[in-house]
Structures are given as C-alpha cells and as structure tokens.
Structure 1
C-alpha cells in the first residue's frame, strides 16, 4: 500500500534547536547538502537524552570496514569492525567508557574532527583541507587502516530531521556512494603501533583498497531520542550499467513523523523518495532474502553475512542484526526508473534501549 508523504526541501542554513533547547520547527525537512547547525545538542542545557555519533562503513570486494565514534551523554561507545569476505574471519573491537570524555565530536557536521581515544581503540575522522573528502584512520588490536572517502564535485547527501516531538527529535545525514581509497592492515597489535607484527608476533597483511570498487557510507547523527527505539536501515553503493548508484533506505523509526530517510543517489545527484517503505524479512532466518518496497522502489536484498551485536548495561542495551549482502530490483530517480543489480551493501534491524 502506498504511503506517500509530503516533505519539505530546505535550501538555507538553519539551527536544529531553539534557544530553549527544543526542536526548531523551521528545521524540519530534508536537504541535499548539510545545512543544519546542531550545536544545541551539546549535553549542557539538556542532559541524558543527547545522542551524537559518526558511523562510517566501507565496502570492498574483499573486506568490510566500519568505525563508530559516539557519545550518548552517560557513556561513550566506540567500535572498529573488519570482516574478511575471503574467509569469513572478523575483527570486532569495541570500547564503552563512562560519560563522554573519550569522544571528540564536532558541534555540526564538518566543523572539526571526530576522535575516539581509549586504551584499546583510536579513531580519527578528519575532513581534507580542500573539502574533497574525509580521512578515516583507526587502530585497535589486530588492525589499522587509513582510508579516504572522496567527495566528488557536486556530490549530494541526504540530510533529514525526524520530529517525534518538540523534545525528542533526530537529525541524520546519510552520505552514500563515496568512492574510497587507502589501505587496511591486519595483524598490527595495538593502537598506534608500527604494524610490524600482530597478536602473537605474526606478520601483518596490508590490503590496498581497489579504486573504483571500494565505497564509503556515512551515518552522522545528532538528536535527543526516546528511551526505546526500533529501526531499519539499508544502504548500498556501487556501479550499475556504468553509473554510480547509492541506495539509502530506512524504516520504523521515522514512521508517522512526516519524515523519511529514503533516497537514491545517481552519479552524485540525490533523488528523494518521499514515502514510507515496507520492509519484509524473517526474524527467524536473518540470511533469508529481505524485500523493501513501495510505490517508487521494489528491492530484494540477499545477505551473505549477519553481524549480530548485543550489549546489556544498566541503562543501555542494544541488540542488532546488520546483514551484509547484495541488492537487486529497481528504484525511481525522478522520472527515470533505475535498475539495481548486485549492489553491495547492508540491511539492519536494531532495537535500542538507551
């Protein structure tokens, strides 16, 4: 059943919060380039519900690399993930620190670096001086990397404000299909080491990311969330028929708010899908095909790996299935229907208590 909604495109800078810390209703809408000032989500005026994060995922023909730098007021949660598609081995490192002192996050996207500093994880996310991309550096036990997520001239990304209420709202930027280059080293023993040996002294393996076949995706978030939330998120990037295609799909958490985070990027141009999509998948068999569809999209997602995550603390709990695989089907980009065939990405089901 079609669930088309009317969304407003914003074309001028706007503050996410008013002077009282509540949602600025003029900020509700979507953008093609980041325009929201999110400095009001600072944990000073309103504390306990602020959620701030930078999540990057990079897909290559042989590896999946992901990093997280985040602060949820009462804790900082950081992570580095590397999955080897060749043999199925996974390096999954995480660190949870009280309060947010281990996290450095810019007030608004692009205002400065994001960093994580703990005994077990170091992460640096920095914009290149000429604005042509973002450098992603990370190190943890068994892994180091330095990757550039390039930003081609004219490349557009989806920014959306999701309003649950004047006190609970989220600003997200989903930036898909960023060409990636750089290197990944598996076997380095600790943050900041020389990479000469791994855990137990084994030599490290250095993998150069193949240009034209490696893609980075950003999930940037700033907001104040309800305590419990369930969401779907799907993304994919690659080349189909000689054109660069990026999929950005979401569900559940935006339903009923008047906002969606659905879009397709074709050769750097973003096309908004202003409808709530239907997500069909088997929670008893996460590797069975998923279907995501609506009036302007009909996509099948076939997973090959289910990354299961579970964290339970006193006030924080998270349970998720992030499945990596390939998309096929079609999606509308304005008046054109785009065929999707074998596009590498992921689809997830996450249930948070935070």
Structure 2
C-alpha cells in the first residue's frame, strides 16, 4: 500500500499523527507546539547537500533539543579527502528556530565564529557559510543559490510502533540547480546550474531512542533532463508508504519496496546493488568514498557511513518508460543513532 496524505494538520490534539503516508508536496502542517512528547525527544534539522562529479558540499543546522548541531563538510572524491567542522551549542530546546515549513521561513545560527544561514528568495534558496577556523584554519566560506522550479518532492509521515506520540515528518527535495562558489583553503570551487544539483533533507519529529536508517539519493541529468531519486527504510512503521521515489522532469514516480544489497564488512570496497520486485529500480552502486563518523559518549551514540559513489542501471517510470542510468553520482548511507 502507498497511502497518499490529505491536506491538514500533521498532529491531532493528543500529539499523534492524523495520517501516515506520503505526498508529492507539503500537504501536512507541522507545528512544534502541537507535540505532546517530552521536549528532549524532539529532533529538527535542515540538511543540504550539493554533489558534483568531483566534490560535495554538505551543510546542516539541527536542533535536537538537548543540543544543537551546526556542520559543514567539503568532500574531494579524487583525493578521498573529507574536511568537516561542527559546532554544538547546548540545551537549544527549539531556540534555533527551525521553520515549521520547508517552503517558508529562514534559519541562521552562529556558534564560536561558525555561521550558517538558509534563506528563501524568489525562485529558490540561498545557503551561506562562514567558517574561518574550518579544518584547522583552512577556512570555508561562500554561498550557493539553489533554484527551485515547480516540481514534485518526497514527503512522508511515519509513526513509530509502541510509541504513539513519536513520528517523523520528512521532506526530500531533489534536483535543485546549484549556482555559486565556495572557497576552501584558499581555492575557489564553482557550481554550474546547468549540470550541478542540490538536495534538501528537511526533518521534523519526535524520535525514539535507538534507531538505524538507510538512505540513498542522487540528482543529475539523464538524456539532458533533470533526474533524481530517493530511497530509504529502516525505522518506524512504513506499512502505509515507503519513501522510495523516482523524479523525472519534475514529476514523482512512486516505488514500493526497494531492496538494499550491501557487502558485509566494508562500505567503500565492493559494489552494492539496489533492486525492486517489479523491476522498476535496478541499479548497481560503485562506492568512491565513505564519509564515516562515530561518536560514543555512552548515553549518546552515533555511527554514520555516508558512502558517495556512482549509480548505473535501469529505472522504469509509472508508465513503463525505461531510463538508462550511467555513472550518476550520489550517495547511500547507513546511520545508527542512540539519541
């Protein structure tokens, strides 16, 4: 079953989801004040990632209630170099003011000289970063404008078994043409909107303590047209809908189950495989670089493997049209959190 969400409030008066399911647009209205769960279980974030054949830029502003999280990463796929800096303000409890809509409201945060801002402008979104101390003084600074023409996105509302007031409301917007430049360690890198694309992962919810998720995404050009996909699973009750979608020329094509066939004992070595029982998503994944991170302070633990690489194979649209994918750069990740 792939149940489509109807417009209206996300939560009822008891703080439970009105509906579980998916949508092509922001159909449900999120309100932090409607949450009835303990404050420390509320998690909110905006994560942007711009991927090219050679580099990736990732920017995050998150408010996990007992702490905030500002992050900037610059990845070089040729040298396998991952430069990342984080700032962690404590006991934010919503003070970072992340917007209650993915389509309105700006957010900016500064901590210990590290500044990030995500704002809406006519026709798209502007991302700004200033981190003079980035990567031990190498420095990272610049701005990127992500154009957002009318197009579908992935929206999903997911409940958690045995936790009636826990939920995850997530939006993924693929295929946003990226324009701008980033300066890293004195070198300038430019994004070309004719061939480079950005992604937004917009997450709001009440999470249970121990979770593992799997998420894959890519955006690019196929036959000269914008193409992307979002795949994932691993947490909550997804019986109402999966988050698996293909995007082609701005339109969403819904998928059900997509199997992840990952090699054991390695993340960036042997190829991966993704498959759909109906033959609509048959892609091989050649890992290029594992962006790995691990934090373990007993009560809180996070183990992340965001693996960037190239997807090749065949996908089929709702009408059966087959698209051939070759060396499309994207990522697939496994993340384990106790938070």
TM-score normalised per structure 1: 0.87
Query: Residue 316 of structure 2 is aligned with which of 320, 332, 336?
Result: 332
Per the alignment, residue 226 of structure 1 pairs with 208
**Counterparts of 1:31 and 1:279, CA distance in 2:** 23
How far does residue 256 in structure 1 lie from its aligned partner after superposition?
Answer: 4.8
**Counterparts of 1:319 and 1:83, CA distance in 2:** 18
Q: Does 1:62 align with 2:54?
A: yes
The RMSD of aligned alpha carbons is 1.9
Name structure 1 gaps, 5 residues minimum: 1-5, 188-203
Aligned length, in residue pairs? 326
Q: Check the 8 A contact 1:95/1:120 in 2, yes or no.
A: no
How far does residue 39 in structure 1 lie from its aligned partner after superposition?
Answer: 1.0
Per the alignment, residue 286 of structure 1 pairs with 267
**Counterparts of 1:326 and 1:74, CA distance in 2:** 37
| SS of residue in 2 equivalent to 1:282 | coil
Summarize the Cα distance change of 1:44–1:21 in structure 2 as closer, same or farther, 3 Å threshold.
closer
Q: Check the 8 A contact 1:41/1:223 in 2, yes or no.
A: no
User: Once the two structures are superposed, what CA deviation does each residue of 1:275-323 show, in whole Å capped at 9, x if it has no partner?
Assistant: 2221111241211211111122111111110000112235321101100
Q: Check the 8 A contact 1:311/1:319 in 2, yes or no.
A: yes
**Counterparts of 1:20 and 1:155, CA distance in 2:** 33
Q: Check the 8 A contact 1:31/1:158 in 2, yes or no.
A: yes
Query: Residue 94 of structure 1 is aligned with which of 71, 74, 86?
Result: 86
**Counterparts of 2:32 and 2:158, CA distance in 1:** 16
Q: Check the 8 A contact 2:46/2:203 in 1, yes or no.
A: yes
Name structure 2 gaps, 5 residues minimum: none
Report 1:151-166 matches (<5 A): 151-152=148-149, 154-165=150-161, 166=164
Report 1:160-179 matches (<5 A): 160-165=156-161, 166-179=164-177
How far does residue 120 in structure 1 lie from its aligned partner after superposition?
Answer: 4.2
User: Once the two structures are superposed, what CA deviation does each residue of 1:38-82 show, in whole Å capped at 9, x if it has no partner?
Assistant: 113677864121110001100123321001111111111121000
TM-score normalised per structure 2: 0.91
How far does residue 254 in structure 1 lie from its aligned partner after superposition?
Answer: 5.0
**Counterparts of 2:109 and 2:36, CA distance in 1:** 20
